[in-house]
Structure formats: C-alpha cells, structure tokens
C-alpha cells in the first residue's frame, strides 16, 4: 500500500496544490484541519477568493442593462464565464447554459416549467432509490400538481442500481428520467449510459444531477446526449449560491419562463409581456454576478490541473482510505459499489455516527454525519445515518491516517 502511495506522491504534488487553498492551514481545537466534507462543499483556491475582491474593487455594476463602462466590463466578464461553463461541459452553445442558485433550483426550474406544462395524469417520472432530496421533492411536487406518478428504480445492498428492475420500470408512460450521476451518500457512479438508452427507447427526456460528478471527472453533455444536466459551483471549488442548468436549446426555447421580472423580458405592457431569448428567459432579476464570474475562475483553476493525475491521486485516496478503515474490526461500510468517486460512507458498530463525528471534530477532522439529504438511502440500509468521508485532490494520506487514529480514540471514549 505504501509503495503505491509513494508512486502517486511523485506524480501529483499535493503540497503545491494545498498551498493554493488558504483554509487548509487552519487549526481546529489546536489541531491541523483535516477537511473530509468535500461532498457537502469544497474549499476554494485563493484565485477564486481573489476574484470577489477584484470584482467589487474594479468592476462592480449591474449587467445587461447599462451602456456605461463598468456595466459593459461586468457583463463581458459574466458572459465569458458562461462561455467557460459551456466549454467545460462541452455544450453546443452558451445559450444552453442557465445560471441558477444551485443544483436544487436547477431541478426545480425544470420541474416547474417543463413538468407543469407537459405532464398529464398517469404520466410517469422515474428516479432512483439513491437520489438526493433535491431530485425527489421537486418531482413529488409536480406529480401532485399534474397527476403524474413517481416511479423509483431500486438498488441492492452494494448501493448499485438494479438494472433489470430499471428495464421494467422505464416504459411507454415514462416522460422523464431524473437520475444522479454520482450518489452523494454512497459515492456510487451510476451506469448513466445504460439508463439513458432505456429512456431514449421510450422517448423520455433525461435530466442528470451532476453535482457530485463534476468535481471528480470530466463531463461531456453532447456525448451523453442528455436533455438536462445540473450542478453547483460550490462543490467544484467555486462559490456558493451559483448553479448551472444545461438544457438543449430547442427544449429551453419551447418551455415557459420560471420567474418573471427584469432581464427575462423583451417588452412589457399592462396588456402583455413578451419574453427574452434563452438563456436570459430563465434569469429574472439581478443575478449573483460575482459568483457567476467566480465559477469561471474555478473552471480555469481546474483546467490548469492534469486531469489524469487528479483521477489517479483521488482513486489512490479512496483505495487507501478503504483499506485503512477495513483494518478497524467494527467498521461497517454503507455502499460497496465497484465504481465510486472518493467517498466512503461507514458506521462504527455500537456507536452513533453523530457521536463519532463529534469526537473527530475535537481532533480537527471534519466529516459529515447524518442522512446526507438522502433519507430513503438510510431507510434502505436501516441506519439513522452514516459517517461520510469525502476526499478531494488536496487531501493527503497523512490526513487519512489522522482520521483512523481519531476513530480509535472515539472507540475508547464512547464504548
């Protein structure tokens, strides 16, 4: 194990990467911060942090509405960022990139525009048993509004979807397949291609929740040929309060706006309003301008990394962390999928995950404990919650060793 680790260290200079993230030098309870909660939100490199100061110092103005110099500068920077997102996920056009508040709003936008206008009683929306609440509740709401029916693809004890059951569930009444690319609670990488093939055979649209995928591997929406792809900036080393909805331009042009107000209009009279073109039709009001610009900076940062090296390094963290936790007899893994991102969900027999998380925090180690906004997953595994260690490319083997030592301490203190 150590030989593999040393080889990976030679390939990937993690200490140089860590120097880009000022928060990683923080001390917590007198201990160096070990941040293993990247599935909830990632830390930010200095260049992303600096972009906020630069915007407010030199560019602050509203966009799309002014002819003065600052407004033009802000508009240009915002639209350049949109183009960077387009290139990052390989969309055809910047018109297919809608800025939102986050993944959750992106899904709600599709549910309340496409869903409310096209779903009829008896139509079916298909999701999976491992979905985040953000990809469950909006569809439940639109089912109540339209009379549509929600169907769920089950998973097995390894935390992998049962494709034989998916083939039975995705049928002629299926209008939308909404599925997460990667499970936030388990780390499972879902077989998106096979699921999409089933949906396309019956003419259903496809929405992919990529919130946990985009931080770890490259996404090409044209190669996927999905209808919608959604994700958040804050999980990919960018700011909070910024999300992306990718949608095929033809579909976005046909569905109605989500909200009314400034910038999504062409003309307004008391008798009638005509709407703007995409993407602006879905961006009512003053947006999170500085956040939109910052996601472009985050993309630049990610593009400057060697993607293959990052993948190898993160996989090494996953392998090492899994083996290290296996050495603790009482550890029970929740989700053992063969294809995973660097997320490990586990419990310690006889101990509540919250108690373990509390002790780990006292040692400076940040893990996530609870249901991870995926209560049906916890119900399936019959646990109140799990301890989730989610790694990023700035984490280290030494940090994993610190977590293992802290778990041993927690066992002594709590048993």
Task: Note the pLDDT of residue 7.
Answer: 40
Task: Determine the structural domain holding residue 150 and report its residue range.
Answer: 49-303
Both 168 and 246 in a single domain? yes
Question: Containing H/E element for 193?
Answer: helix 192-201
Q: Which residues of 92-102 are buried (b: 16+ CB within 10 A; e: fewer)?
A: eebbbbbbbbb
Both 123 and 250 in a single domain? yes
- Looking at 303, 338, 358, the residue that finishes a domain is 303
CA distance 391 to 388: 10
Tokens 């997102």 -> residue:
85
Both 275 and 325 in a single domain? no
Both 197 and 326 in a single domain? no
Domain harbouring 339, CATH code: 3.90.1150.10
Q: Flag whether the pTM goes above 0.85.
A: yes
Both 153 and 219 in a single domain? yes
Supply φ then ψ for residue 21, to 5 degrees.
-115, 95
Q: How many domains does the chain have?
A: 2
Task: Note the pLDDT of residue 2.
Answer: 42
Q: Which residues of 124-158 are buried (b: 16+ CB within 10 A; e: fewer)?
A: bbbbbbbbbebbbbbbeebbeebebeebbbebeee
CA distance 168 to 156: 16
Tokens matching residue 116? 């409310």
Beta bridge pairs of residue 389: 344
CA distance 180 to 136: 11
Tokens matching residue 370? 């609870």
* Catalytic annotation, pick one of 61, 373, 409, 414: 373
Task: Note the pLDDT of residue 274.
Answer: 80
Kindly write down the DSSP assignment for every residue of 202-267, as one continuous string.
TT-EEEEE-TTTTTTS---HHHHT-SEEEEEGGGTTS-TT-EEEEE-HHHHHHSPPSS-STTSEEE
- Edge-to-edge order in the sheet of strand 368-370: 331-333, 343-348, 386-390, 368-370
CA distance 11 to 247: 37
Both 159 and 285 in a single domain? yes
Q: What is the largest CA-CA distance in the chain?
A: 73
Do residues 173 and 121 touch, judged by C-beta distance below 8 A? no
- Looking at 283, 303, 323, the residue that finishes a domain is 303
- Looking at 303, 320, 343, the residue that finishes a domain is 303
Domain harbouring 245, CATH code: 3.40.640.10
- Edge-to-edge order in the sheet of strand 174-180: 97-100, 243-247, 228-232, 205-209, 174-180, 124-128, 149-153
Q: Which residues contact 404 (CB under 8 A, 6 or more apart)?
A: 324, 325, 327, 328
Both 271 and 348 in a single domain? no
Task: Note the pLDDT of residue 11.
Answer: 57
Tokens matching residue 284? 């009512």
Both 156 and 279 in a single domain? yes
Both 372 and 410 in a single domain? yes
Task: Note the pLDDT of residue 262.
Answer: 79
Both 107 and 31 in a single domain? no
Both 399 and 371 in a single domain? yes
CA angle (106, 336, 397) in 5-degree steps: 90
Is 373 among the catalytic positions? yes
From the centroid of its chain, how far is CA 400?
23
Cα-based distances in Å from 177 to 75, 160, 184, 208, 339: 35, 17, 18, 8, 21
Round the CA-based radius of gyration of the chain to a whole number and report it: 22
Both 83 and 15 in a single domain? no
Helix, strand, coil abundance in the chain, percent, nearest 5: 45, 20, 35
Per-10-residue mean pLDDT, the chain, length 415: 41 91 97 98 98 97 90 96 98 98 98 97 98 98 98 98 98 98 98 98 98 97 98 98 98 92 82 85 92 98 95 97 96 97 97 96 96 95 97 98 97 88
Q: Which residues contact 224 (CB under 8 A, 6 or more apart)?
A: 192, 193, 196, 208
Cα-based distances in Å from 59 to 8, 49, 98, 292: 42, 15, 22, 13
Supply φ then ψ for residue 392, to 5 degrees.
-130, 170
Task: Note the pLDDT of residue 385.
Answer: 96
């Amino acid at each position: 194990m150590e030989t593999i680790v040393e080889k990976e260290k030679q390939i990937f200079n993690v200490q140089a990467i860590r120097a880009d993230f000022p928060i990683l030098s923080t001390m917590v309870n007198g201990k160096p911060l070990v941040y293993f909660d990247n599935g909830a939100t990632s830390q930010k490199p200095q260049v992303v942090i600096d972009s906020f100061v630069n915007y407010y110092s030199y560019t602050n103005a509203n966009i799309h509405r002014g002819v003065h110099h600052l407004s033009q500068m802000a508009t240009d920077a915002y639209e350049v960022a949109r183009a960077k997102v387009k290139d990052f996920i390989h969309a055809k056009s910047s018109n297919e990139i809608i800025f939102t508040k986050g993944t959750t709003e992106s899904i709600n936008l599709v549910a309340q525009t496409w869903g409310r206008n096209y779903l009829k009683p008896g139509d079916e929306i298909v999701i999976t048993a491992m979905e985040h609440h953000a990809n469950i509740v909006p569809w439940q709401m639109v089912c109540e509004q339209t009379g549509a029916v929600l169907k769920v693809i089950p998973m097995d004890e390894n935390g992998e979807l049962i494709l034989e059951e998916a083939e039975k569930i995705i049928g002629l009444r299926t209008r939308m397949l909404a599925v997460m690319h990667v499970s936030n609670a388990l780390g499972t990488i879902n077989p998106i291609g096979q699921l999409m093939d089933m949906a396309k055979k019956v003419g259903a649209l496809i929405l992919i929740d990529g919130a946990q995928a985009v931080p770890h591997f490259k996404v090409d929406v044209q190669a996927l040929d999905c209808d919608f792809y959604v994700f958040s900036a804050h999980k990919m080393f960018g700011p909070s309060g910024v999300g992306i909805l990718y949608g095929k331009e033809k579909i976005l042009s046909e569905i109605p706006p989500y909200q009314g107000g400034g910038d999504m209009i062409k003309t307004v009279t008391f008798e009638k309003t005509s709407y703007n073109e995409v993407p602006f039709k879905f961006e009512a009001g003053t947006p999170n301008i500085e956040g939109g610009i910052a996601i472009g900076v985050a993309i630049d940062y990610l593009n400057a990394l060697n993607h293959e090296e990052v993948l190898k390094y993160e996989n090494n963290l996953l392998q090492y962390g899994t083996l290290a936790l296996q050495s603790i007899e009482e550890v029970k893994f929740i989700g053992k999928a063969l294809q995973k991102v660097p997320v490990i969900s586990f419990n310690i027999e006889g101990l509540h995950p919250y108690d373990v998380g509390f002790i780990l925090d006292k040692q400076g180690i940040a893990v996530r404990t609870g249901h991870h906004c995926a209560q049906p997953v916890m119900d399936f595994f019959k646990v109140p919650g799990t301890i989730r260690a989610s790694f990023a490319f700035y984490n280290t083997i030494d940090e994993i060793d610190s977590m293992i030592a802290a778990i041993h301490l927690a066992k002594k203190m709590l048993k």
